[in-house]
Amino acid sequence: MTIQPYNSDLNFVGSIPNYDLLFLALSKINLGDRIKEIEEILVTRNLFDFRTEEARGRFFRMIKSTIFNTYSEEQSELLASIFDENCNFQNKNIVLFWQLCLSNRLFREISVNVYLKNYYAGRSHLSARDVEDYIMHLKETDPTIKEWSIKTIIPVASKYLTILKKLNLLDGAAKKQILPVTIDNNTMVLFVYLIKSINPDNFNFLNSEYFQLSLMSRDTFLSFAKKVGNMSFWDMTFDGTALKFTLKQKPNNIANALFNRTQTKI
């Protein structure tokens, strides 16, 4: 994965009142004139009623730098098909979590080293202090964050937790409860396709930097990968150590292929 610079875009992502705005933006991500169309909707027409032109402009700039930060046309096509308003898919919040992890370095590293570390350990709560402590750790080594004051770090930590709450991953007020996440089969097929769209190499999924984003244990993921019903989506090999996928569907076709069949929980 390409190393991105750190930024504080999480502050604005956490301030968005309705994440349908982000779903709309992602539904347009594969269009050649997508930037102009989103600018027309958000800035010129003010479809979502931002109070000031400055707020509309800030949101538009964040869309360009974060949500539209993709690695390939395949990734853009896949995201557009998932977030299309005609796609009957209920776990869009989970895919948005994955896209934020892939598109924003700070969001990804906090997620991996704070949220997911606690999630997989079975812990019940997450606090702003947990996130603040991690950012303070980054401050010791990264030249960008080294310049951040505590007045910058505290809001970023708070907004990170707000984002996870809006994505239905946390609940509560000051000390957030870590909610259980149930991933259905279709969502996990999309996860494999999303990761392969940014890295098409024949790599071992189980020890890759992406696997921990799946919100699944190794054994559960393997059970899902081996399901006979998923063999129309990929060829997979597992030698006891390495799990590899060769995809059979085009990214822009996978949502249609999935949602023409009944969803089942793993």
Radius of gyration of the CA atoms of the chain, in A = 19
- pLDDT higher than threshold 50 for residue 265: no
Q: Determine the Cα–Cα distance for residues 107 and 120; give it in Å rounded to an integer.
A: 18
Closest CA to 31 of 71, 66, 65, 81: 81
Mean pLDDT of 33-56: 69
152-174: pLDDT as tens digits? 999 999 999 999 999 999 999 87
Q: Which CATH architecture has domain 102-178?
A: Orthogonal Bundle (1.10)
Between 68 and 79, residue with greater pLDDT = 79
Percent residues over pLDDT 90 in the chain: 55
- pLDDT higher than threshold 50 for residue 264: no
Closest CA to 98 of 189, 15, 180: 189
Q: Which CATH architecture has domain 185-258?
A: Orthogonal Bundle (1.10)
Count, residues in the chain: 266
- Mapping DSSP onto H, E and C, the string for 25-62 reads HHHCCCCCCHHHHHHHHHHHCCCCCCCCHHHHHHHHHH
Mean pLDDT of 210-217: 94
The DSSP line for 190-222 is HHHHHHHHH--S---GGGSTTGGGG-S-HHHHH
Mean pLDDT of 111-136: 96
Query: Considering the entire predicted model, what is its pTM?
Result: 0.90
Tell me where in the chain the CATH 1.10.10 domain(s) lie.
Answer: 102-178, 185-258
- pLDDT higher than threshold 90 for residue 26: no
Mean pLDDT of 222-242: 93
